[in-house]
Amino acid sequence: MDSKKVYIKTHGCQMNEYDSSKMLDLLKSKQNFEIAESEDEADLLILNTCSIREKAQEKVFHQIGRWKKFKTKKPDLKIAIGGCVASQEGEKIVKRAPAVDVVFGPQTLHKLPELYEEKIKTDRTQIDISFPKLEKFNFLPSAEDPGPSAFVSVMEGCNKYCSFCVVPHTRGHEVSRNVIDILNEVSVLADGGAREIYFLGQNVNNFKGAYKGESASLAKLIELTAKIQNIERIRFTTSHPYEFRDDLVEVYDKVPELVSHVHLPVQSGSDRILRLMRRRYSVERYLDLIDKIRSIRPEMSFSSDFIVGFPNETEKDFAATMQVVEEVKFDESFSFIYSPRPNTSASEMSDNVGIEEKKERLEILQSRLTELSFGYSRRMVGTIQNCLITASSKKDPSELQARTVNNRIVNFKPRDFKVGDFVNLLIRDAYSNSLRGEVVNAVL
Ligand code: SAH
Ligand code: F3S
């Protein structure tokens, strides 16, 4: 069979990146697809979409508009739309953009090869955005060449219904995978060269698996994973502060493979706004949790997500957010202007903060977050960091790129090292998006 070519464009979060890599694995193994170097040589164009904010959603229709033009030159070209916009909009996508051939959701991506085949056979547009619980994991092949750092999805969906968030509507309710299946997947990845495992879930710390007839939390899963040969680093994201239980805090004491960095989105520093957001924790509880983790691992760094300009957010609420930033001294964080999303309860509140006000707050917050983040980088200069080599440098292929524990990129001259090795690097310089290092032989 002649091989066809697929091009996938991914918007949004790490879960989407993971899903896209699984789509590729599937199409390669089931239908002999190869990866297209560019959009214009593809037989199948896939857009894995994100609907977390309005702008992300609008990008989808712009992209379809561009891709549609390729069909004039190549009438057999197919366009498939997956991810959260697909899940949210379903048939409406095809109504607005009839050039689309297949629409599938995050929970039906394993059906993509069949949907594509069916479209070719019948010439009828295929839409499947159902939520069959965890079924997809039984159909996904293992990654052939996972690279040194591999994502593993351990749970799907979310039932928190934070008032601003569309995720429970697009990805469905929380379902956790079986621990044995996850450990098997990790072992295969480790055999294929993975040294770092990145557990993914929308609300990953509420993972509720089963192991040897007993329930197993994320803490248990981390302990079991650390025992797998060659797995030397473990990360997980995204955590909700509400369910960050004591056993997970204690794992920082028990498992050295668990990195000293965690993404723990606070969203706002005002209790009043946190209540309106339905976040289920107070600022005090959030700060207590940070203290607890830091008392076990003083070197721990934290990153966060923030939303500014949530309905009813006053100057005073915003000042409270800035106060939390100063108390925690966050590392590399993300911040966004509130964006009303379909079906969410916040979208019914009157959005009474002016856009100029929102932009101003975002700028103040972001400039402080950037400053703090750069402060971390600067303080790393002169220290020796144990790093995992993840790729060749983008700018200079004679150099390699490695990642520190807090996930900073370090570029360096390789000597005898290669991708997948751990190396001790003396940090020489800090730039806004990366560090420069030099190989040292010191043992850490
Ligand atoms: N499960 C994660 C968040 C996933 S969404 C958690 O519990 O925090 C990723 C980030 O997008 C969120 O942390 C939030 O900061 C941002 N976000 C989500 N919905 C948003 C909206 N409607 N407007 C602006 N930002 C939003
Ligand atoms: Fe969204 Fe809140 Fe879940 S931010 S993903 S509803 S924890």
Distance from residue 243's CA to the centre of ligand 1 (Å): 16
Tell me how many degrees the CA angle 158-160-161 measures, rounded to the nearest 5.
Answer: 100
Task: Give the residue whose CA is nearest to atom 7 of ligand 2.
Answer: 160
Q: What is the mean pLDDT of each run of 10 residues along the chain (444 residues)?
A: 89 94 93 93 97 88 95 95 95 96 95 96 96 75 84 94 96 93 95 97 95 95 98 97 97 97 98 98 98 97 97 97 98 95 95 95 98 96 96 89 95 91 97 95 58
At 416 the pLDDT is 85
Amino acid at residue number 359: K
At 1 the pLDDT is 55
SS (H, E, C) 31-55: HCCEECCCHHHCCEEEEEECCCCHH
Give the total residue count for the chain: 444
| Pocket of ligand 2, beta carbon within 6 A | 158, 160-162, 165, 167-168, 202-203, 240
Secondary-structure breakdown of the chain: helix, strand, coil percentages, each rounded to the nearest 5: 40, 20, 40
- What would the DSSP string read from start to end of 117-156? HHHHHH---EEE----TTGGGGGPPPPSS--SEEEEE-EE
Query: 325 with 370: CB under 8 angstroms?
Result: no
At 442 the pLDDT is 53
Helix (H, G, I), strand (E, B) or coil at 325: helix
- What would the DSSP string read from start to end of 326-340? HHHT-SS-EEEE---
Q: For residue 291, give Cα distances in angstroms to 158, 238, 277, 331, 332.
A: 26, 19, 24, 16, 19
Ligand nearest to the CA of 160: 2
Which tokens is 415 given?
């000597």
Task: Give the residue whose CA is nearest to atom 10 of ligand 1.
Answer: 305
